[in-house]
Amino acid sequence: MMTAKSNSQTRRALHSPKSGFLWGASTSCFQIEGAAHIDGRGDSIWDVYCRQQGRVKDGDTGEVACDHYHRYAEDVALMRDMGLDAYRFSIAWPRVLPTGRGAANEPGLAFYDRLVDALLAANIEPWICLYHWDLPQALDDVGGWQNRDIAGWFADYAALIGRRYGDRVKRFATFNEPCVFTLFGYGFGWHAPGIADKAALHKAIHHVNLSHGAAIDALRSAVRDVSVGAVHNRQPCYTATPGPDDEAAARRFSVYWNDAFPHPQHFACYPPALAEAIEPYLRPGDMAQIARPVDWFGLNHYSPHYIKADSNLLGATFGAPPAEVPRTSIGWPIVPGAFRDTLLDLHRQFRVPIYVMENGTASEDQLDSRGAVQDDNRILYLRAYTDAMNEAIAAGADVRGYFVWSLLDNFEWGSGYSQRFGLVYVDFATQRRIPKASARWYSDVIAAKRSARVSVAAHVPAEAVAAQS
């Protein structure tokens, strides 16, 4: 087994971020790791939520998931065979700090040592995300994201992770999709911890923003040459039907979805439509703590939204796209042009390098009689969306990398295991992994880009190649 100590050569070779355009894949701990009660891991809010009847489709849980905790070496080999440059995963906060603060859990920390070392040995750059929705239940018991003290707990957790892995990992994201876990978890009650309350939502938004800034500072102190950012959704919010009610609903929804986090984090103020609701929780100095400089913007984008008016606390919810707009098997509209426009808009507004940290599609994948998975829908989707990204790059957007969601079929939150997003099919009964046709397609795309880079490099000066890649 390669350990943190035994691979110092690999570490030396790879301890700075990879340059050039990165092709990768993303996952998150709760969705793939399993081993929910092994080696001292504490409960997360999602473990508890899954145990509540009727919360998750078919009563599915994260107890076993893809058993990645035990099968990570096989999963890294799949990534290496695909030719991935980079892999984004998240750390399970309750695995490394079972009650969210206090004494660290060495077996939990050692798991991520093994994973990081295996990735480096396969020449794959690890990207760590600190938080992908699995809050330690013990912290939720004392208010979770509604408790302002969480900014300090999160900063301590970030420092622990930075100190432990920062010799080998340079890319860190604070949060994945803060708009989703706050809106769905505290606004609509669709995700853990299952709350639907306006004050809870606004407190959670502000405390997540404070925690982001505190973690950025902690990572910068703990890790030399660190490269930090956060991962946000940005999706145009169109109206489901013409008319003033849906139009107002779409505008309101967009503030919570697109602006509630990037705005304060980059511009040191809340969007005007949110300022009054946040005001009761704001203290002097907060905005400066939130708006810490970052090195890049992580973008998750799958589709535009079609929003309609509703009686929920936002007065807005998801509506249906027009009949002529094609949809994926999970019902999400397929509009690659909206992805291109989002990238260009992001570039114009934020002026930092962009990494697409999630893009992909669910599809009703099945093993055929030869034991293969011919997921043509996914290939068509990924081709259309990567073409759209290339158009944005050609028009000037500073996009530096693209990560498919997801490496593996996995636990899709409230939908349980019913929605398959992976490049690799997982037979959940046996845990057998079968790369789908899309994995071969993606691998060919990466190989073609790489050989184009090499053949250009043979004929033109190095600076010109760097500018291209």
User: Binding of ligand IFM at residue 412 (CB under 6 A)?
Assistant: yes
Sort strands 424-427 and 432-435 into parallel, antiparallel or unpaired: antiparallel
The yes or no reply on residue 286 touching ligand IFM (CB under 6 A) is no
Question: Between residues 226 and 407, which has the closer beta carbon with respect to ligand IFM?
Answer: 407
Q: Which two tokens stand for residue 328?
A: 């994926």
Amino acid at 223: V
Residue 241 C-beta: closest distance to ligand IFM, Å:
25
Least distance (Å) between residue 358 CB and ligand IFM? 5
Q: How far is the CB of 179 from ligand IFM (least distance, A)?
A: 11
Q: Is 74 a catalytic residue?
A: no
363 binds ligand IFM (CB under 6 A): no
Binding track, positions 15-34, relative to ligand IFM; x by CB under 6 A: -------------x--x---
Of residues 33 and 358, the one with the C-beta less far from ligand IFM: 358
Output 46 or 69, the one with its CB closest to ligand IFM: 46
Question: What per-residue string of b and e applies to 12-36 under the rule 16 or more CB within 10 Å gives b?
Answer: eebbebbeebbbbbbbbbbbbbbbb
**Residue 358 is a catalytic residue:** yes
d(CA 302, CA 327): 11
Of the candidate residues 43, 140, 177, 259, the single one contacting ligand IFM (CB under 6 A): 177
Structure tokens at 361: 């599609």
Do 362 and 405 meet the contact criterion of CB atoms below 8 Å apart?
no
Helix, strand, coil share of the chain (percent; to 5):
45, 15, 40
Instruction: Quote the least distance from Cβ 332 to ligand IFM, whole Å.
Output: 9
Per DSSP (E only), the strands in 160-287 are 171-176, 227-233, 237-239
C-alpha 105/C-alpha 109 separation (Å) is 6
Does residue 300 bind ligand IFM (CB under 6 A)? yes
| Choice between 140 and 358, CB closer to ligand IFM | 358
**Residue (117 or 409) nearer to ligand IFM, CB:** 409
Query: Closest approach of Cβ 296 to ligand IFM, in Å?
Result: 18
Q: Residue 26: helix, strand or coil by DSSP?
A: strand
Integer CA distances (angstroms), 84 to 74, 124, 190, in order: 14, 6, 34
Residue type, 332: W
CB of 257 vs ligand IFM, minimal distance in Å: 13
d(CA 434, CA 415): 22
DSSP 33-98: ---TTSTTPPPBHHHHHHHSTTSSGGG--SSSTT-HHHHHHHHHHHHHHHT-SEEEEE--HHHHST
Query: Residue 93 or 405: which CB sits closer to ligand IFM?
Result: 405
Of positions 358, 365, 375, 409, contacts ligand IFM by CB under 6 A = 358
Nearest-approach distance from CB 318 to ligand IFM, in angstroms: 13
Q: Is the dihedral of CA 415, 417, 420, 423 positive or negative?
A: positive
Which ranges constitute the DSSP H helices of 364-428? 376-394
Closest contact distance (angstroms) between CB of 413 and ligand IFM is 6
CB of 35: closest distance to ligand IFM in angstroms? 18
In whole angstroms, give the CA distance from residue 180 to residue 166: 28
- 125, 177, 247, 364: the catalytic one is 177
For 463, counting Cβ atoms within 10 Å of its Cβ (0-12 exposed, 13-18 middle, 19+ buried), the class is exposed
Q: Choosing from 33, 125, 358, 412, which is the catalytic residue?
A: 358
Give the position of tokens 């009610």: 245
Tell whether residue 405 is a contact of ligand IFM (CB under 6 A): yes
Choice between 235 and 254, CB closer to ligand IFM: 235
Give yes or no for residue 89 binding ligand IFM (CB under 6 A).
Answer: no
Question: Which residue lies nearer to ligand IFM by CB, 330 or 457?
Answer: 330
Contact of 423 with 435, CB cutoff 8 Å: yes
Tell me, by CB under 6 A, how many residues bind ligand IFM: 8
Give the residue numbers annotated as catalytic, written as ranges. Answer: 177, 358
Q: Name the site residues for ligand IFM (rule: CB under 6 A).
A: 28, 31, 177, 300, 358, 405, 412, 421
